[in-house]
Amino acid sequence: MAQVKLYDTTLRDGSQAEGISFQLEDKVRIAQRLDDLGVHYIEGGWPGSNPKDIAFFDQVRDVGLRQIKVAAFGSTRRAKTTAEHDANLQTLVKAAPDVATIFGKTWDFHVKEALRISLDENLELIYDSIRYLKEHLPEVVYDAEHFFDGYNANPEYALKTIQAAQEAGADCIVLCDTNGGTLPHQIPDIMSAVTGKVDTAIGIHAHNDSECAVANSLMCVEHGATHIQGTINGFGERCGNANLCSILPALQLKMGHEVVPEKQIEGLRVTSRYVYELANMVPQKHQPYVGNSAFAHKGGVHVSAIARHPETYEHIRPEQVGNVTRVLVSDLSGRSNILAKAEEWNIDLDSKDPIVMDILEQIKDLENKGFQFEGAEASFELMMRRALGTARQYFSIEGFRVIDYKDRDGDMPMSEATVQVKVGGQIEHTAAEGNGPVNALDQALRKALEKFYPQLGDMKLYDYKVRVLPAGEGTGSLIRVLIESGDHEGRWGTVGVSSNIIEASYHALVDALQYKLQRGAGGQVA
């Protein structure tokens, strides 16, 4: 079985996605991370299009990549010049990449309307450009742009374009579904026609406009392709590109291709989240294989089954791609959910203990009142420990007051919070300002508590979400506040619900602080 090679184009196609712009340092760091993952090629950009891409090829040479090949992207020569005098091809050669990847026209419609040249002239552009690059660089990949649309419109001419690429010496010919409109059932006949005309290695570059980019890529491999282009997390123009985070495990864990070493594929989830971070985007929790919810189970029947045999509701072991099984707690939970969470948190809980049903009933009652524990597992763990009588009360709040004020029109409003905190019989009365009532309350609580618990100093509030619950009461509706907090060891979520947004926030903040202190005690509370 021929090895399938992965060609990542996150730094070019991925950066063309709406809302994404990688800095030079980001691009170099992503290249290093993909090298660690075992990806075979990374396309650094189009050096003829902007100074940042030129700088990337200069800088990436010095970072010590171990095995990944760096590709530079460009186009075939212009119609009214020779390859030797074409500025785009000269820039590709000057960048001195491991691989040059150029695209050319396949669709006769584009040749006539976009380039405004004859079909035979287009074949000359393809041949001359590849021949010239092969004389100066060790490897040339040819991207047959709009191949599938071109084949559907004029199959004879589409095949002639890739035959020209083969005759010029291309190392790999990539069939591009540039508009993303191809469906999987169309792939076999087209691949059969292609492999009947050329014997050069065939690749696939699929866009996701029909939600079929991953399926089309895998189908091409099934019919002879040995090179797949895509991006991490499926980033790309319009609806995105083929998602390598889905393609890699499908090829290796399901289709039997040895794409990267087994240990390296375990870094897939970390790589996915790393690229999200550098793109300044929130990870998609429902993303297959690497998302937080990819192996999350809520229904009691599911949880009970995976406790005995994970394969009952998991298509692979999540650890194979660096993910984990998660058990969610909600009003759909059963006894098995509670026991699974207790085991996860090292809480000694007998399955026959009546407290299990008490906890379950409490969950259902609270969720009926608007609480949600799926994103607030810290609040649920505290609730469980309180029900068992094992939760230590590190502090109590005697009272608080929050004031908003604005001196004059045009000024930003300010908030001031005053709290009275009791720790070990001692009362601490503290005030603090903030850029909003919740921030002021958070600052005041920390200011009061850090005197007793200095470890709270490294705790941060990462996210704050407010949801108006559909109670039909307008401004008097119930409010649910979800807070994500964290420190150098991890992050945790807490929840509060009230018709008063400050009180809801207060409950979530207090839980976050109590949980931080509990974690600092190694999870052992008294």
Q: Are 205 and 177 in contact (CB under 8 A)?
A: yes
Distances (CA, A) of 383 to 249, 362, 379, 393, 410: 38, 9, 6, 12, 44
Same domain, 373 and 462: yes
Separation of alpha carbons 166 and 161, rounded Å: 9
User: Could you tell me how far CA 357 lies from the centroid of its own chain?
Assistant: 37
Considering only residues 289 and 408, tell me which one the structure prediction assigns the higher pLDDT: 289
> Residue length, the chain?
526
Separation of alpha carbons 196 and 350, rounded Å: 66
Sign of CA dihedral 338, 344, 347, 352: positive
Domain membership of residue 165 (yes or no) is yes
One DSSP character per residue, 240-262 reads -B-BHHHHHHIIIIIS----S-H
Considering only residues 125 and 364, tell me which one the structure prediction assigns the higher pLDDT: 125
Report the candidate in 257, 330, 264, 265 with the shortest Cα–Cα distance to residue 293: 330
Report the candidate in 296, 290, 308 with the shortest Cα–Cα distance to residue 333: 296
Express each pLDDT in 162-175 by its tens digit: 999 999 999 999 99
Same domain, 30 and 40: yes
Domain boundary pick from 226, 242, 260: 260
* Bridge partners for 430 per DSSP: 419
| Residue % of the chain over a pLDDT of 90 | 68
* Bridge partners for 99 per DSSP: 71
Same domain, 247 and 372: no
Predicted TM-score (pTM) of this structure: 0.74
Q: What is the CATH number of the domain that holds 470?
A: 3.30.160.340
Q: Are 12 and 44 in contact (CB under 8 A)?
A: yes
What's residue 525's pLDDT? Answer: 32
Read off the pLDDT of each residue in 108-129 and give the average, rounded to a whole number.
Answer: 96
Domain membership of residue 274 (yes or no) is no
| Residue % of the chain over a pLDDT of 70 | 94
**In which order are the strands placed within the sheet that holds 479-487?**
460-468, 479-487, 490-498
Considering only residues 471 and 469, tell me which one the structure prediction assigns the higher pLDDT: 469
Same domain, 251 and 382: no
Domain boundary pick from 242, 260, 278: 260
Same domain, 441 and 460: no
- 526 has pLDDT over 50: no
Distances (CA, A) of 347 to 53, 71, 332, 453, 525: 53, 52, 22, 24, 11
Distances (CA, A) of 476 to 89, 222, 372, 471: 66, 58, 20, 9
Residue 250: domain span: 5-260
Same domain, 67 and 91: yes
| Domain count within the chain | 3
- Write phi, then psi, for 424 (nearest 5 degrees): 55, 35
Read off the pLDDT of each residue in 371-376 and give the average, rounded to a whole number.
Answer: 76
Domain membership of residue 519 (yes or no) is yes
What's residue 2's pLDDT? Answer: 77
Domain membership of residue 38 (yes or no) is yes
User: Could you tell me how far CA 403 lies from the centroid of its own chain?
Assistant: 40
Domain boundary pick from 414, 434, 449: 449
Q: Are 244 and 206 in contact (CB under 8 A)?
A: no
Same domain, 195 and 239: yes
Residue-averaged pLDDT of the chain: 90
Same domain, 30 and 132: yes
Separation of alpha carbons 142 and 133, rounded Å: 11
- Write phi, then psi, for 241 (nearest 5 degrees): -105, 175
Q: How confident is the model at residue 103 (pLDDT cuts 50, 70, 90)?
A: very high
Express each pLDDT in 416-447 by its tens digit: 999 999 998 899 999 999 988 989 999 999 99
Domain membership of residue 87 (yes or no) is yes
- 349 has pLDDT over 90: no
Same domain, 426 and 458: no
Domain membership of residue 307 (yes or no) is no
Domain membership of residue 79 (yes or no) is yes
Residue 242 region, left (φ>0) first, then alpha (ψ -120 to 50), else beta? beta
Separation of alpha carbons 32 and 42, rounded Å: 10
Q: What is the CATH number of the domain that holds 224?
A: 3.20.20.70
What's residue 445's pLDDT? Answer: 94
3-state secondary structure 50-97: CHHHHHHHHHHCCCCCCCCEEEEEEECCCCCCCHHHCHHHHHHHHHCC
Question: CA angle at residue 39 from 33 to 42, to 5 degrees?
Answer: 80
- 48 has pLDDT over 80: no
Domain membership of residue 302 (yes or no) is no
Same domain, 442 and 366: no
Same domain, 365 and 375: yes
Strands in 424-478 per DSSP E = 426-434, 460-468
Same domain, 521 and 444: no
- 71 has pLDDT over 80: yes
Q: What is the CATH number of the domain that holds 443?
A: 3.30.160.740
Q: How confident is the model at residue 333 (pLDDT cuts 50, 70, 90)?
A: low
Read off the pLDDT of each residue in 143-148 and give the average, rounded to a whole number.
Answer: 98
What's residue 309's pLDDT? Answer: 73
Report the candidate in 504, 467, 512, 509 with the shortest Cα–Cα distance to residue 486: 512
Query: Any idea which of 215-219, 440-444, 485-489, 518-522 has the lowest mean pLDDT?
Result: 518-522
Q: Are 325 and 297 in contact (CB under 8 A)?
A: yes
